């Protein structure tokens, strides 16, 4: 009878040990694998974004006239001698040099940089590539002659559907997964940047950039030993905890159960009280140690989520009623009235032509670092950066957007005084209306986006700043919802017929951020200017012309006065049309 009791006791203890060991081992393994998977996914997205940005930047560096000259020489019937002659030409060498400069941006990571022409016969062909064959041994070149991409040779795009998509949609796109290169024995990812003809907006060619995953593998390689160590420690602790619980299961188990329940509620800061040095006391210590490990993992996850918030604004998630980015699902959406702000640096393309890629990035980041805080200061958030441009949303009062715009202009004035770069000017458009915030894309890749006709109108507002020479232009919808328009310096500009809209939109200039002497002159001429504009839209053009002519003598530098005077003279000479709305605007 005594032996029977011993067998039953040993069997029960073994079951307890096995059950707790399997449970803790499973939890530890899942946590380690999950953290590793999150790290891998995050780094994949990072290298995708890096590759896409380099390709997009590189497409601006290619000299299009030279490229067009090379493309005109392409033909399916070129002989080897004709191909060699083209490859010795100045145009080919110039494009090759430009591709090598692009490769120099990340020379350690960029494996290939080449240009492909999507031919009309459906067979893409190489135009030129960076000189990366020096990385191959001579014997390898002989084994793999297909790696030598000559001018006019075929480009096999059958395994790259994203290439066809980039050609079809004329968009900057990047592969969604790695492609294994058997020659270099590395994984790489490719971005495609369409190169458009500035005159006809036709697709000339596609710049292709291949980046290898050296940095990703190095980071993951460092994390693997740590993950294995953590898993090993967790398994050892799990075994120790299981044995202790098996030896002395009942004593203190309820207290420990309450602690474990707190862990299940994600309260990883709770700790078990150690009241003795017996088995339960040691178990409490082990559970506390395990909780600390879990808490470290939770902290890492929180850091990852915090990092993601720099890419997806927290306010965007709040409007979707999501606690974190992990809760966002494809198709989530909400409709709200908001004020939209678009800003852009004027003549940025000309300005950046004199900069290296590094200088361009530094310039843009220094500029955005100055103006970005103004948006957050006045309760807005940046939805996206569009090169040097900004699209921001203000869910509160339209006054927030106007105050932010004024502050942004002032920050640009300060920036011009201290940056060391050529002084810049920005244009800001503001419009208020209904919009839809939500997620678009597909299961493997989605993005937060704003879809609304109001967004298009606001973009047009920003474009009007160049025509009128005004730093800030707001729509009538925004002007009508300001709490106290009198606190700003605002004057009526025009009625504009926006492309795609039948009803003209009234637009206003906010000039509170102008330099003091300019602001004073606009204040002195405001009443007379708006009186003249009113006469103009009442078809009293002779009276309006008299007002504008007198104003132009006193304020010749005011572009708006000259604009209306020209309009009046034109309509008096050619006949007054029924519609005087924004007829000089080239929409």
pLDDT, mean of residues 63-85:
87
Q: What number is the average pLDDT over the span 253-273?
A: 64
Q: What is the mean pLDDT of the chain?
A: 78
Residues 395, 375 contacting (CB under 8 angstroms): no
Q: Is the dihedral of CA 483, 342, 332, 499 positive or negative?
A: positive
The per-residue pLDDT for 108 is: 80
Q: Which of 127-131, 246-250, 473-477 has the lowest mean pLDDT?
A: 246-250
User: Helix, strand, coil % (nearest 5) of the chain?
Assistant: 55, 20, 25
Alpha-carbon gap, residue 62 to 56, rounded angstroms? 11
Q: How far apart are CA 101 and CA 130, in angstroms?
A: 9
Burial of 269 (0-12, 13-18, 19+ CB in 10 A): exposed
Answer whether 55's CB lies under 8 Å from 110's CB.
no
Which of the 8 DSSP states describes residue 200? T
> By the 8 A CB rule, do 149 and 113 touch?
no
Q: How many CB atoms lie within 10 A of CB 250?
A: 8
Q: How confident is residue 508, by pLDDT bands cut at 50, 70 and 90? A: very high
CATH class of segment(s) 62-212: alpha beta
Lowest mean per-residue pLDDT among 212-216, 341-345, 378-382, 549-553: 212-216
How far, in Å, CA of 141 to CA of 137, rounded?
Answer: 6
pLDDT band at 341 (very low <50, low <70, confident <90, very high): very high
Q: How far apart are CA 491 and CA 89, in angstroms?
A: 58
Residues 6+ apart with CB under 8 A from 482: 397, 398, 399, 402, 488
Does the pLDDT at position 223 exceed 90?
Answer: no
Q: How confident is the model at residue 557 (pLDDT cuts 50, 70, 90)?
A: very high
Q: What is the mean pLDDT of residues 19-23?
A: 71
**Architecture of the domain whose range is 314-513:** 2-Layer Sandwich (3.30)
Instruction: Measure Cα distances from 420 to 357, 362, 411 in Å.
Output: 17, 12, 15
Tokens of 323: 């606690």
How many helical (H) and strand (E) elements, i.e. helices and strands, does the chain have? 18, 14
Sketch the domain layout of the chain as residue ranges: 7-39+218-308, 62-212, 314-513, 515-587
Indicate if the pLDDT at residue 328 is higher than 60. no
Evaluate if residue 219 carries a pLDDT over 90: no
């Amino acid at each position: 009878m005594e032996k029977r009791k011993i067998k039953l006791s040993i069997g029960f203890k073994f079951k307890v040990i096995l059950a707790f060991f399997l449970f803790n081992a499973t939890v530890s393994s899942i946590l380690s694998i999950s953290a590793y998977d999150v790290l891998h996914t995050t780094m994949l997205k990072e290298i995708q974004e890096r590759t896409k940005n380099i390709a997009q930047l590189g497409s601006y560096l290619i000299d299009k006239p030279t490229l067009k000259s090379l493309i005109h020489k392409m033909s399916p019937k070129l002989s080897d001698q004709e191909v060699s002659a083209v490859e010795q030409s100045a145009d080919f060498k110039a494009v090759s040099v430009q591709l090598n400069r692009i490769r120099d941006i990340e020379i350690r990571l960029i494996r290939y940089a080449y240009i492909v022409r999507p031919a009309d016969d459906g067979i893409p062909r190489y135009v030129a590539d960076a000189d990366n064959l020096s990385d191959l041994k001579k014997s390898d070149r002989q084994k793999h002659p297909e790696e030598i991409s000559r001018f006019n040779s075929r480009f096999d795009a059958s395994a790259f559907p994203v290439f066809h998509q980039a050609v079809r949609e004329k968009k900057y796109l990047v592969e969604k997964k790695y492609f294994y290169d058997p020659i270099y024995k590395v994984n790489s990812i490719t971005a495609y940047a369409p190169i458009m003809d500035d005159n006809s907006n036709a697709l000339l060619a596609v710049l292709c950039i291949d980046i290898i995953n050296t940095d990703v593998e190095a980071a993951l390689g460092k994390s693997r030993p740590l993950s294995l160590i953590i898993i090993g420690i967790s398994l050892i602790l799990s075994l120790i905890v299981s044995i202790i619980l098996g030896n002395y299961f009942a004593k203190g188990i309820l207290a420990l159960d309450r602690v474990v329940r707190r862990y299940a509620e994600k309260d990883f800061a709770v700790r078990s009280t150690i009241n003795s040095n017996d088995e339960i006391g040691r178990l409490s210590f082990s559970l506390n140690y395990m909780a600390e490990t879990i808490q470290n993992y939770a902290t890492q996850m929180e850091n990852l989520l915090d990092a993601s918030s720099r890419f997806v604004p927290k306010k965007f998630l709040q409007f979707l009623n999501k606690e974190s980015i992990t809760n966002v699902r494809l198709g989530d959406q909400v409709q709200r009235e908001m004020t939209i702000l678009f800003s852009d640096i004027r003549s940025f393309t000309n300005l950046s032509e004199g900069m290296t890629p590094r200088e361009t990035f530094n310039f843009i980041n220094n500029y955005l670092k100055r103006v970005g805080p103004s948006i957050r200061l006045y309760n807005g958030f940046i939805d996206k950066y569009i090169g040097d441009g900004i699209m921001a949303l203000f869910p509160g009062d339209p006054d927030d957007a106007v105050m932010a715009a004024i502050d942004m202009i002032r920050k640009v004035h300060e920036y011009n005084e201290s940056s060391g770069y050529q002084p810049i000017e920005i244009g800001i458009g503001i419009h208020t209306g209904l919009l839809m915030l939500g997620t678009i894309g597909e299961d493997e890749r989605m993005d937060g986006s704003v879809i609304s006709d109001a967004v298009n109108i606001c973009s047009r507002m920003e474009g009007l700043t160049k025509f009128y020479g005004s730093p800030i232009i707001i729509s009538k919808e925004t002007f009508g919802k300001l709490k106290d328009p009198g606190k700003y310096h605002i004057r009526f500009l025009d009625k504009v017929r926006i492309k795609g809209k039948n009803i003209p939109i009234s637009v206003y200039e906010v000039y509170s951020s102008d330099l003091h002497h300019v602001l004073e002159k606009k204040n002195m001429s405001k009443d007379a200017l708006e009186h003249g504009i009113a006469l103009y839209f009442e078809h009293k053009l002779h009276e309006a012309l008299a007002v504008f002519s007198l104003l132009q003598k006193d304020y010749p530098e005011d572009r708006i006065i000259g604009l209306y005077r020209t309009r009046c003279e034109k309509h008096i000479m050619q006949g007054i049309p029924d519609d005087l709305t924004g007829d000089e605007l080239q929409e």
